[in-house]
Amino acid sequence: MADSSPSAQPTAPNPADRPVYVIGGGPGGLSVAYALRARGIRAVVLERSGHVGDSWRRHYDRLRLHTTRRLSALPGLPMPRRFGRWPARDDVVRYLEKYAEHHRLEIVTGVEVSRVERTPDGTGWLLHATGGRELTGAAVVVATGYNHTPRVPDWPGRDTYTGEFLHACAYRDPKPYAGRDVLVVGVGNTGAEIAVDLVEGGASRVRLAVRTPPHIVRRSTAGWPAQYSGVLVRRLPVGLVDRLCRVQARLALPDLSAQGLPRPDSGLYSRVREGAIPVQDVGLIDAVRKGTVEIVAAVEGFEEGRVVLADGERVAPDAVIAATGYARGLETLVGDLGVLDERGRPVAHGPRTAPGAPGLHFTGYTNPISGNLRELALDARRIAKAISRTAEASRLPTT
């Protein structure tokens, strides 16, 4: 990897000397850089941390992919068989490091891009980065990640709460919570896994605050991964998939209504299209059935050292872990370019670009039912193809 000194920044006023800048050294950014390089287009990855795959290094210890090894590999390098069917967090980190090394990608670490704008002459993109750097690229691919900025709801009384409180991004393992009463807020995949991890790690009591009951699917049924089904149905009509999933759930999953986790009213695929991925079961169902994970109402606020729940109950756990998701954090980067919707999401993904922003691509800001890493790999090739179409006219430098 290159260092982050100014001399390492390939900038030049001549459009013929401009590379494609890829912002973010995670799976999305690395796969795009490889796909561009494979087409003879120079790509420079800008990573704000000191390592590729930084967000993966910060995930909790027990994390394993919910997607299979084979369908999680990036273009040009399979994941090793020794990773098993469901690669662990550390395996993914090692794979990303190997991927960058294997493909000899041009990566500059320790550089954070704060703003992207059109060049004054309209022929490219100007990136404002740390240290006062101004980098000029022929095109830009933004790949800063789906889980970029931890999000905590603006709960009333939150600023006066004196108990232990942390976002799930700061959770690593259950050791600090052994023998303690813990409230986990949010029943996405992260919240569900942390709750199970706490039970297995010896927490004295684990409650899981739920606002909207999720769809739950088995990660694998009779050896058939849920991801395979996601790939097969992703282009079918939403209503049809909802009906199929409803029948499958009634056959394969127990009814947890008595434990406070009823089946959702809305369809599974309808929820996916709204951004809500189903929870893949890695122990939550059994924990809820046994009562080792207690389902409680959503958190409404904090008052006098207690947590106020939506049903009026007040609880006083030893620790609160907010698995309340992330924001994309793109507003300061590209918010004034008209490329984001009202929720801060890119209006165009992959090979498509927003009106008035040719050459500005985004990857990794959807949460597809067929698996995020798989779709990142497909997006990388599509983005590279789209950029290569203008390579001759733009005279992009080749590798």
210-235, pLDDT tens digit by residue? 999 999 999 999 899 999 999 999 89
pTM: 0.90
The yes-or-no verdict on residue 3 having pLDDT over 60 is no
Q: Determine the Cα–Cα distance for residues 146 and 143; give it in Å rounded to an integer.
A: 8
At 102-130, the pLDDT tens digits run 999 999 999 999 999 999 998 899 999 99
pLDDT beyond 90 at 348 = yes
Residue-level pLDDT at 388: 94
Domains along the chain with CATH numbers:
6-148+328-394 (3.50.50.60), 150-325 (3.50.50.60)
3-state per-residue secondary structure call for the chain: CECCCHHHCCCCCCHHHCCEEEECCCHHHHHHHHHHHHCCCCEEEEECCCCCCHHHHCCCCCCECCCCCHHHCECCECCCHHHCCCCEHHHHHHHHHHHHHHCCCEEEECCCEEEEEECCCCCCEEEEEHHHEEEEECEEEECCCCCCEECCCCCCCHHHCCCEEEEHHHCCCCHHHCCCEEEEECCCHHHHHHHHHHHHCCCCEEEEEECCCCCEEECEECCEEHHHHHHHHCCCCHHHHHHHHHHHHHHHCCCEHHHCECCCCCCHHHHHHCCCCCEEECCHHHHHHHCCEEEEECEEEEECCEEEECCCCEECCCEEEECCCEECCCHHHHHHHCCECCCCCECCCCCCCCCCCCCEEECCCCCCCCCHHHHHHHHHHHHHHHHHHCHHHHCCCCC
pLDDT at 278: 95
Residue pair 125/360 in contact (Cβ under 8 Å)? The answer is yes
Specify the pLDDT at position 396. 57
pLDDT-based confidence at 391, cuts 50/70/90? low
Burial of 57 (0-12, 13-18, 19+ CB in 10 A): middle
Q: In terms of pLDDT, which residue wins out, 4 or 235?
A: 235
End-to-end CA, the chain: 16
Residue 10 has pLDDT above 60, yes or no: no
Q: pLDDT tens-digit profile of 127-176?
A: 999 989 999 999 999 999 887 889 999 999 999 898 999 999 999 999 99
